Amino acid sequence: MSSSLRRGALAASALAFSIATLAACGAGNNSQTLEIKPDNASTSVGDIKIQNAVVITQPNPAGGGPVAVSATVFNSGKQAQTIESIDVEGLGTAKLSPAKGEKELTVPAGGVVVIGGEGNASAVLEHPDEKSIDGNAQKTTFTLSDTGAVSLAAFVVPAAGYFSSWGPSAIPSVPSESPSESASETATSTASPAAGGSESPSASESPSESASGN
């Protein structure tokens, strides 16, 4: 075989091998493209799979305040499961609140529940043990009624940028007036309510109420 024919045969073989390799990458449920993992915390135990788990702190870590847990929980089983607790290592146990209209934080059979964000269930640590852990990956444990404990390392991020609508509420501001000064003002005021008498301070939204709507 001449050298030119030999080179042509080698080039054709290399091309055929490249095409076969690309086809293998895109074929089947175990293809290499499907094995690319998302850049966030996820894990699965039994019928339960947890994705996008993030611990979201206040925008200003130095200020302390409530911390929220955001995650998506899937249940591939035939039995609904209740999320009984969510614990963040170094911070404590979150207060769980189901979505509006629900009595419990339940992952339906063959369904999914989203924790965090407006209108969804919420998990809030109102008085975390530590104030500044941004940038860490904290062990976060979800305990479910049938599966039991499911743990993963969730990234800790401040409620800024993309996470601003998923984070906890801000700390209620402290009134500038003392109660005695406010009471004295009310007692000495002679203006009628219609003329703009003293106003009562508005109630602050609790961190858990705000986080359940974020």
Q: Is 123 helix (H, G, I), strand (E, B) or coil?
A: strand
Say if residue 34 is in the same domain as residue 51: no
Kindly state whether residues 28 and 97 are assigned to the same domain: no
Tell me the pTM: 0.59
Residue pair 157/57 in contact (Cβ under 8 Å)? The answer is: yes
DSSP-based three-state secondary structure for 113: strand
Residue 50 and residue 83 in one domain? yes
Structural domain boundaries, residue 25: 10-39
The answer to the question of residue 195 being in a domain is no
Residues 125 and 21 in one domain: no
With b meaning 16 or more CB within 10 Å and e meaning fewer, what string describes 131-147?
A: ebbeebebebbbbbeeb
Residue 45 in domain: yes
Residues 104 and 153 in one domain: yes
50 plus 33 within the same structural domain: no
Residue 25: inside a domain: yes
Whether residues 59 and 106 share a domain: the answer is yes
One digit per residue, the tens of pLDDT, for the chain of length 214 reads: 555 545 545 444 443 443 344 334 443 434 343 334 445 679 999 999 999 999 988 887 666 778 899 999 999 999 999 999 999 998 899 999 999 889 999 999 999 999 998 899 999 998 786 666 767 889 999 999 999 999 999 998 887 644 555 445 443 333 334 444 444 444 444 444 444 444 444 444 433 444 444 4
Same domain? 23 vs 115: no
- Domain check: are 28 and 49 in the same one? no
68 and 28 co-located in one domain: no
Q: Are residues 24 and 80 in the same domain?
A: no
Residue 87 lies in a domain: yes
